[in-house]
């Protein structure tokens, strides 16, 4: 009896037919295709979100940098006098890199050139159809003077607070008076650090002489002059990028690529025409009547993704012009309006 049951089971276990195998394979292919489609869709969604997040991050970073420098344009510490009353020991005091009399400047592409003309420092490096702006002012981390106080070729500061380098262009002010000079040397002495400002050493721009007209005391502070130039140029990867040139020692303004894949920057200047510190109109640099009347600045940036990630070409509106992209990159527009906190000080 047991043998008969075993034989019966053995006869029934004959495997799968070809039809059954084909049906199983067909179902597997359908299921696998669905899984692959879900995976591909998830991957595309992930790449799109990642690209969009990167563009958003770059845009916020760029706007933050520019807004901070714009807000501090024209900052001169506690000095509230005019630029004409600031003593300068510098050779060529109104040169592009350290022209403290012009806290804000801009260049506009007019279709065939730049208005005003670009400084030789950046000429040929700025992409056409974009804007340039420059901010100048003092750093906020000024340091107080220590005794002895003299108008000779040096000022004394506390070594613990000293943040000055040889070749830095500096301003010292006691709120009523101000003087600009270049640090040519630093000497550590028993009562502090002597910031020397002689006319020796071959520095750029260098000082015309060692003596200050004013004698500054304990109520005075000294700080570095800051100049920042923003423009759109060609980045290291060959893509358009946002650049900033910042003044360092010896009058140099080296270029720094801040954010890649920034296609355009447009700047409008809020001009106060009735002396109430409120902008009456926003115009391009070539249409500003007097830069001294500009009380706010509006900056617009056009950023794009590094890769062609969109499913179809995007249509976007920037600077009043609507454009259909000729690629599949994601584009975002960022803008901000910045009040010049120190407008009118210089």
What's the token pair of residue 222?
Answer: 């000294």
Question: What is d(CA 191, CA 305) in angstroms, rounded to the nearest whole number?
Answer: 56
3-state secondary structure of 79: coil
Model pLDDT for residues 204-240, shown as the tens digit of each residue: 999 999 989 888 999 999 999 999 999 999 999 999 9
* Of 234, 255, 289, 302, nearest in space to 58 by CA: 302
pLDDT digits (tens, 9 = 90+) for 52-75: 889 999 999 999 999 999 999 999
Which bin fits 256, alpha (ψ -120 to 50), beta or left (φ > 0)?
A: beta
Angle (CA) 255 261 266, round 5°? 75
- As a whole number of Å, the CA-based R_g of the chain is 32
pLDDT tens readout for residues 4-55? 554 455 555 566 677 767 777 777 778 777 777 776 666 666 677 788 889 9
Q: How far apart are CA 167 and CA 171, in angstroms?
A: 13
Place of tokens 């003077």: 145
Looking up tokens 């210089």 gives: 346
Note the pTM of the prediction, 2 decimals: 0.86
Contact 264/319 with Cβ under 8 angstroms?
Answer: yes
- Is the model's pLDDT at 117 over the cut of 50? yes
pLDDT tens, 300-317? 999 999 989 888 999 999
Q: Is 144 helix (H, G, I), strand (E, B) or coil?
A: strand
Per-residue DSSP letter, 64: H
pLDDT reading at 178 higher than 50? yes
Question: In what helix (H) or strand (E) does residue 172 lie, and over which residues does it extend?
Answer: strand 169-173
Q: What is the DSSP string of 235-276?
A: -TTSSEEEEEEE--GGG---EEEEEESEEEEEEEEEE-SSSS
**Distance between CA atoms of residues 222 and 172, nearest Å:** 4
Say if residue 345's pLDDT is above 70. no
Within 10 A of 187 (CB to CB), how many other CB atoms are there? 11
Q: Which residue has the tokens 């344009």?
A: 73
Residue 321 has pLDDT above 80, yes or no: yes
Model confidence pLDDT, tens digit, residues 267-282: 999 999 998 889 999 9
């Amino acid at each position: 009896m047991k043998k008969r049951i075993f034989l019966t089971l053995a006869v029934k276990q004959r495997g799968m037919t070809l039809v059954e195998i084909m049906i199983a394979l067909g179902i597997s292919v359908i299921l696998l295709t669905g899984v692959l489609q879900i995976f591909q869709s998830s991957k595309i969604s992930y790449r799109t979100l990642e690209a969009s997040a990167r563009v958003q991050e770059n845009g916020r970073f760029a706007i933050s940098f520019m807004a901070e420098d714009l807000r501090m344009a024209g900052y001169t510490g506690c000095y509230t006098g005019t630029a004409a009353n600031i003593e300068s020991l510098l050779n060529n005091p109104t040169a592009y890199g350290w022209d403290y009399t012009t806290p804000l400047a801009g260049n506009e592409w007019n279709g065939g050139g730049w208005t005003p003309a670009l400084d030789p420092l950046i000429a040929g490096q700025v992409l056409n159809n974009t804007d340039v702006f420059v901010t100048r002012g003092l750093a906020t981390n000024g340091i107080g003077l220590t005794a002895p106080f003299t108008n000779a070729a040096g000022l004394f500061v506390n070594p613990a607070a000293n943040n000055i380098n040889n070749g830095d262009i500096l301003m010292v002010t006691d709120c009523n008076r101000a003087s600009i000079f270049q640090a040519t040397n630093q000497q550590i002495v028993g009562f502090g650090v002597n910031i020397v400002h002689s006319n020796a050493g071959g520095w750029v721009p260098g000082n015309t002489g060692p003596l200050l007209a004013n004698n500054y005391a304990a109520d005075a502070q000294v700080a570095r002059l800051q100049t920042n130039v923003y423009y759109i140029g060609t980045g290291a990867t060959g893509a358009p990028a946002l650049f900033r040139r910042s003044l360092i020692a010896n009058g140099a303004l080296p270029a720094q690529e801040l954010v890649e894949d920034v296609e355009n920057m447009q700047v409008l200047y809020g001009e106060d025409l009735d002396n109430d510190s409120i902008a009456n109109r926003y115009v391009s640099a070539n249409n500003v009547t007097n830069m001294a009347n500009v009380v706010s600045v509006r900056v617009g940036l056009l950023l794009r993704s590094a890769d062609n990630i969109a499913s179809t070409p995007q249509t976007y509106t920037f600077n009043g012009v609507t454009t259909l992209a000729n690629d599949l990159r994601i584009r975002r527009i960022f803008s901000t309006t910045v009040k010049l906190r120190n407008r009118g000080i210089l």
